[in-house]
C-alpha cells in the first residue's frame, strides 16, 4: 500500500522555519515522495501567514523569511507532484451528506 501523508499548515511550516518539530519534518521530506504529500490549498495560505507573523514578530529575520518563502514555493506551491486538496462541500461533508446538502 502506498504511503500518503496529509500535512496541516502548522506541520508544513516547521519544514521552513526552525522550531520544535523541524527535525521530524525534514526526516519526513527525505522519506516520503512529494506525490504522496498533500495539504489543503487553504493550508498553503496559512503557511504563508505563519511566515509573515513570525517575520513581523521578529522571530524570523528578513533573510530567513525570504529563504522560507523561496523554498516553500519550490517544494509546495510550484511543485507538480505535491497535492493541494481544494476545500469543497464534498471534502467537508461525509459521503452521502454532501448530495443532500
* Residue-wise pLDDT tens digits, 37-79: 999 999 999 999 999 999 999 999 999 999 999 999 999 999 9
Every domain of the chain and the residues it spans: 5-88
pLDDT at 99: 52
DSSP characters for 32-78?
Answer: S-GGGEEEEHHHHHHHHHHHHHHHHTTSS-HHHHHHHHHHHIIIIIS
Q: 37-40 and 5-6 as β-strands: parallel, antiparallel, unpaired?
A: parallel
**Higher-confidence residue: 24 or 2?**
24
CATH of 5-88, one of 2.40.110.10, 3.40.1440.10, 3.40.50.1010, 3.60.15.10: 3.40.50.1010
Rounded to an integer, the average pLDDT of 80-87 is 88
Side-chain half-sphere of 12: how many Cα atoms within 13 Å? 30
Q: How far apart are CA 25 and CA 21, in angstroms?
A: 6
pLDDT at 4: 86
Amino acid at each position: 500500500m502506498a504511503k500518503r501523508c496529509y500535512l496541516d499548515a502548522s506541520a508544513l511550516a516547521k519544514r521552513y522555519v526552525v522550531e520544535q518539530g523541524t527535525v521530524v519534518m525534514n526526516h519526513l521530506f527525505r522519506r516520503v515522495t512529494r506525490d504522496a504529500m498533500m495539504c489543503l490549498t487553504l493550508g498553503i495560505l496559512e503557511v504563508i501567514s505563519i511566515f509573515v507573523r513570525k517575520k513581523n514578530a521578529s522571530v524570523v529575520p528578513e533573510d530567513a523569511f525570504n529563504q522560507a518563502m523561496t523554498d516553500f514555493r519550490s517544494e509546495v506551491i510550484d511543485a507538480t507532484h505535491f497535492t493541494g486538496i481544494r476545500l469543497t462541500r464534498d471534502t467537508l461533508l461525509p459521503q452521502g451528506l454532501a448530495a443532500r446538502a
